[in-house]
Amino acid sequence: MFARKPKLIRIITNLIRLENYATKGSKPEIPRNPLASTYTASSQKDNGVVYDKKPFKLTLEAGKTYHWCLCGRSKSQPLCDGTHKDHYLKVTQRLKTILISAEKKQIKKSFFDKNFNNYLYFYRPVKFTVEKTKDYWLCNCKQTKNRPFCDGAHKQKDVQEAGTVRL
């Protein structure tokens, strides 16, 4: 009779211990930008400079339109404040996508070839909206593949070693 009690106690104790272990659930789903297919700014090839090496948590309202800073120079990160338009900062990309669109429109490529270095264009903010009002993690390293939402790209070695704009 005495042997059964300790065995029962051990079984109950083990069950309690198992309940206290944290189990890994499925990874949280990264939200999608419903406007990504509508606005071409979200498909810009290049990324801006690393503003910060960690994402920014922000409460976003459903149906409201936001503009996410891609250049990395905005003073109101992670949202755009128009800094990319400052002519003196020269926040620009090279001609890559202009050449692609020129080929599609059948514009003379030779014109672009000789003037390649003269053609720069500004980073444009990524226009987005969300479907639910809640907290979202927006990318501050500007290297995400799922603009404007953080996808963990800030954990990469090259991003961690990069200098940041943030002081």
Residue range 102-145, pLDDT digits in tens: 554 554 444 444 444 444 456 788 899 999 999 999 999 988 88
Q: Which residue has the higher pLDDT, 117 or 154?
A: 154
Tokens of 144: 């995400």
User: Average pLDDT, stretch 17-27?
Assistant: 62
- Model confidence over 31-89: pLDDT tens digits? 887 777 766 666 677 788 889 899 999 999 999 999 999 888 888 999 999 888 777 76
pLDDT given for residue 78 in this prediction = 92
Q: What is the pLDDT of residue 114?
A: 46
Alpha-carbon distance 6 to 8, whole Å?
5
Strand partners, 79: 68
Closest CA to 53 of 122, 128, 139: 139
- Residue 95: its pLDDT value, please? 45
Say which residue, 67 or 15, is predicted with more confidence: 67
- CB environment 53-92: b (16+ within 10 A), e (fewer): eebeeeebeeeeebbbbbbbbbeebbebeebbeeeeeebe
**Structure tokens of 56?**
């920014």
Q: How confident is the model at residue 6 (pLDDT cuts 50, 70, 90)?
A: confident
DSSP state of 151: -
SS3 111: helix
